[in-house]
A and B are shown apart, each in its own frame.
Chain A
Amino acid sequence: MQAKMQAPRSTVSGRAATRSRVATTKVVCRALNSMESAHVEELKKTAAYISQKGKGILASDESNATTGKRLESVGVENTEDNRRAWRELLYTAPGLGQYISGAIMFEETLYQKARDGRQFVDILQAQGIYPGIKVDTGLQILPGGKGETTTQGLDGLADRVKAYRKQGARFAKWRAVVKIGEAGCPSTTAVLENAHGLARYAQICQEHGLVPIVEPEVTLGPGDYSIEETAFWSERVYSHVMRLLNEYGVVLEGILLKPNMCLPGLDAPVASPKLVAEVTTRTMMRSIPPAVPGIHFLSGGMSEEESTLNLQALNEACPEAPWALTFSYGRALQSSTLKTWAGKQSNWDAAQDILLKLAKANSQASTGSFKGPHPVPGGGRILQALRTGGAGK
């Protein structure tokens, strides 16, 4: 199995080991585990709520620039008010809280209001949806010429977390991206650097009262690499991430994981939901301890239908999973919704209706009870290029 892989293995050496050699031989501070953090019980409850059976997360935290691209694709100008209106459409969809337990927002959105003056955070809470906040400030290219990235946002993070919590956020999200499919990818640097960023971010969030969604995305990209290769690198990345979370005293009962499903490269034949489920559950079983309450898969470039069918297959393959197997979907909940709205008030209800149907389908899939038909069948992959340059705007 793993012996077939030619990729070199390396030990968790380098940065992590060096850092701790400098530290004293005293035990790593386990203040969080020993319940000194005032927030630990609340963090556990929040994580349990968000990962409850039958619900998932709406990822609506696109930066202003990315949101702009989406809006422009349906002929809507990228203004603050249009961004606000688009999110209002999403958050006020009646009954959304039956299927959605958390909504991730971009900073601008966290402070925005609906037309009638109500704060988005209040609208969401009234729906039983916890507000979340994207806290990373974007990707930056790593040296090495392979297009690998690190994620920025640790500086000043503690203060931002406190402010966001004050505004009503209950959880946070940080997206690390690991590229595979090209010779030399992922490099050890990329794996260690991204794992460190995630662990440190998670530690800071918990210290100041936000449940961190830990998102190590092994990204779906060009190339004809196999699903087994994705699984191999995913295991490697998750192993490092879990190791560092352990080292940094992050309370696993108070986090959520947002990983990729295991898929072959874009230039390889699409894998069936059954195969995706088999390989992905095996990867999770090997890497994620049961204390993590919820695994919320990202939709990456999967079509809306693919995202639902794969999630359904996952739950069929692993009905006794020790963590919730659910979703944190962005494009897979928004793509058709946006196209239906296209900026026109007259399309508002129809757009909300599509969103609810998509949310319901994925809610069913997360309990293994989606029977079809899918509300938006036959859609193609919804790909977007990696945005780098940092300081998410």
Chain B
Amino acid sequence: MGQYISGVIMFKETLYQTTKAGRPFVEVLAEQGILAGIKVDEGLEPLAGAADGETHTKGLESLEANCREYVRAGAKFAKWRATLKVTDTLPSRLAVERNADELAQYARICQNCGLVPVVEPEILIDGNHSQERFGQVTEQVIGATVAALWRHGVELEGCLLKPQMVIPGAEAEGGKASAADVARCTVAALRRVVPPAIPGVMFLSGGQTEEEATINLDAVNREAQAVGRCPWSLSFSFGRALQASVLKLWSSDQTRVAEAQQLALALARVNSEAALGRYTASSGSHPSTLGSATLHETFRGWNGQSAGNGTAQ
């Protein structure tokens, strides 16, 4: 797995877990050359003064103490997820600035503790907004986030960005966009707002099928190579797009471990190829077993309930 995966983000419980034989996960991963990461935010909360459905992310108060603990447990990087809702008039300025500022504070604290922060301003795909509108919001949000990172003295060379690719809303007229359009819009938007000092842009897969995520990532890399002057790595930080088929297989019969692992490896491999713009597969040969079943879970933003344990990604 370490040929294709350089980092694994874990939930707190997982960071401290071990294999049946008693070996810590952190160690097992390190052996493969995979760095252990840790989700450090504590979920979403409605943002007072903002519009319905707009949120900010909790977790700053205990962040430093937690980070120091996680470093002791072997974590090397962290992740914090902010979400922003898109309509014709949203996200509001308040939501943009508040989330950007929180991401920057989180990033600064992480760096102070020796963790590389993955900065995730997820712009939600729920809604009927166009791809163009999504691109505008992407530029606005990432621009604000980058400015906030500077204000808080975050060293850009030591952080990673985890954005959404620029795609139309889940309920947009005209349905899904072609990979070429996704690539063109995504590369254009990122070139406008991401300074070269940030070494990696690790896309989230939210809402895309496993196959779409790979094809789109590949198209983004090909477009970047064609356009040139894209100095950051364009790679993936995929959850569902690397796990859904695997989970389906394994949960149907938990003895089929080897098979499930092979499937996981295959999914990782095609995305690794896509991250180099070298994914070649005619349709039907992608390892995903879920076909066009979208991995779009119900609204991943604020749904009126407290985050509790693990309902946020």
Say how far B48's CB is from chain A's closest CB, in angstroms: 15
> CB distance B143 to A320 under 8 Å?
no
Say how far B163's CB is from chain A's closest CB, in angstroms: 14
B220-242 toward A: CB 8 Å interface, digit per residue (1/0)?
A: 00000000111100000000000
Contact of B171 with A by CB under 8 A: no
Contact of B88 with A by CB under 8 A: yes
Contact of A323 with B by CB under 8 A: yes
Contact of A235 with B by CB under 8 A: yes
A contact residues vs B (CB 8 Å cutoff)? 1-3, 9-12, 17, 20-21, 24-28, 30, 33-34, 235-236, 239-240, 242-243, 246-247, 252-253, 282, 284-291, 320-323
Residues in B with CB closer than 8 Å to A10 are 151
Please judge, given known A-B contacts A12-B151, A20-B93, A27-B136, whether A288 and B195 are in contact too, CB under 8 Å.
yes
Identify the closest chain B residue to A9 (Cβ): B151
> CB distance A289 to B191 under 8 Å?
yes
Residues in B with CB closer than 8 Å to A21 are 93
Question: Which listed residue (B144, B155, B231) contacts A320, Cβ 8 A?
Answer: B231
Identify the closest chain A residue to B150 (Cβ): A239
Give CA–CA (A12, B101) in the complex, Å: 11
> CB distance B195 to A285 under 8 Å?
yes
Residues in B with CB closer than 8 Å to A239 are 146-147, 150-151
Contact of B291 with A by CB under 8 A: no
Say how far B124's CB is from chain A's closest CB, in angstroms: 16
> CB distance B197 to A285 under 8 Å?
yes
Contact of B33 with A by CB under 8 A: no
> CB distance A1 to B155 under 8 Å?
yes
Q: Is the interface of B mostly helix, strand, loop or mixed?
A: helix
Q: Chain B CB within 10 Å — which of A3, A10, A289 has the most? A: A289
Q: Which B183-227 residues sit within 8 Å CB-CB of chain A?
A: 188, 191-197
Question: Which listed residue (B101, B192, B196) contacts A246, Cβ 8 A?
Answer: B192
What are 6 A-B pairs at a CB distance below 8 A?
A: A27-B89, A27-B140, A235-B150, A243-B143, A252-B192, A323-B229
Say how far B221's CB is from chain A's closest CB, in angstroms: 15
Contact of B156 with A by CB under 8 A: yes
Please judge, given known A-B contacts A239-B147, A239-B150, whether A286 and B156 are in contact too, CB under 8 Å.
yes
Contact of B289 with A by CB under 8 A: no
> CB distance A289 to B192 under 8 Å?
yes
> CB distance A246 to B197 under 8 Å?
no
> CB distance A291 to B192 under 8 Å?
yes
> CB distance A25 to B89 under 8 Å?
yes
Contact of B139 with A by CB under 8 A: yes
Say how far A107's CB is from chain B's closest CB, in angstroms: 32
> CB distance A246 to B143 under 8 Å?
yes
Give CA–CA (A23, B313) in the complex, Å: 35
Residues in B with CB closer than 8 Å to A321 are 196
Identify the closest chain A residue to B135 (Cβ): A33
Residues in B with CB closer than 8 Å to A323 are 229
> CB distance A289 to B151 under 8 Å?
no
> CB distance A2 to B153 under 8 Å?
yes
Residues in B with CB closer than 8 Å to A34 are 132, 136
| Known contacts A286-B150, A289-B191, A323-B229; 10 further A-B pairs (Cβ under 8 A) | A1-B155, A10-B151, A27-B88, A33-B135, A33-B139, A236-B150, A243-B143, A246-B192, A290-B231, A322-B229
Please judge, given known A-B contacts A243-B144, A290-B191, A290-B196, whether A322 and B151 are in contact too, CB under 8 Å.
no
Please judge, given known A-B contacts A9-B153, A27-B136, A239-B147, whether A289 and B92 are in contact too, CB under 8 Å.
no
Question: Which listed residue (A11, A12, A240, A246) contacts B139, Cβ 8 A?
Answer: A246
Say how far A295's CB is from chain B's closest CB, in angstroms: 11
> CB distance B147 to A12 under 8 Å?
yes
> CB distance A290 to B230 under 8 Å?
yes
Please judge, given known A-B contacts A25-B89, A25-B93, whether A246 and B231 are in contact too, CB under 8 Å.
no
Give CA–CA (A323, B231) in the complex, Å: 10
> CB distance B231 to A322 under 8 Å?
yes
Say how far A230's CB is from chain B's closest CB, in angstroms: 16
Residues in A with CB closer than 8 Å to B192 are 246, 252-253, 289, 291
Residues in A with CB closer than 8 Å to B151 are 9-12, 239
Say how far A194's CB is from chain B's closest CB, in angstroms: 16
Give CA–CA (A9, B135) in the complex, Å: 30
Give CA–CA (A227, B10) in the complex, Å: 41
> CB distance A289 to B136 under 8 Å?
no
Question: Which listed residue (A9, A246, A284, A320) contacts B193, Cβ 8 A?
Answer: A246
Residues in A with CB closer than 8 Å to B230 are 290, 322
Say how far B107's CB is from chain A's closest CB, in angstroms: 13
Give CA–CA (A25, B143) in the complex, Å: 18
Give CA–CA (A18, B188) in the complex, Å: 30
Q: Which B129-143 residues sit within 8 Å CB-CB of chain A?
A: 132, 135-137, 139-140, 143
Identify the closest chain A residue to B194 (Cβ): A289
Please judge, given known A-B contacts A3-B153, A20-B93, A27-B88, whether A243 and B195 are in contact too, CB under 8 Å.
no
Please judge, given known A-B contacts A235-B150, A290-B230, whether A285 and B196 are in contact too, CB under 8 Å.
yes
> CB distance A289 to B193 under 8 Å?
yes
Say how far A214's CB is from chain B's closest CB, in angstroms: 14
Say how far B153's CB is from chain A's closest CB, in angstroms: 4
Residues in B with CB closer than 8 Å to A285 are 156, 195-197, 231
Give CA–CA (A236, B147) in the complex, Å: 9
Q: Chain B CB within 10 Å — which of A2, A20, A286, A290 has the most? A: A290
Say how far A315's CB is from chain B's closest CB, in angstroms: 15
Give CA–CA (A226, B175) in the complex, Å: 55
Q: Which B3-46 residues sit within 8 Å CB-CB of chain A?
A: none
> CB distance B197 to A286 under 8 Å?
yes
Residues in A with CB closer than 8 Å to B155 are 1-2
Say how far A138's CB is from chain B's closest CB, in angstroms: 29
Residues in A with CB closer than 8 Å to B51 are 25
Say how far A259's CB is from chain B's closest CB, in angstroms: 14
Give CA–CA (A282, B143) in the complex, Å: 19
Give CA–CA (A286, B157) in the complex, Å: 8
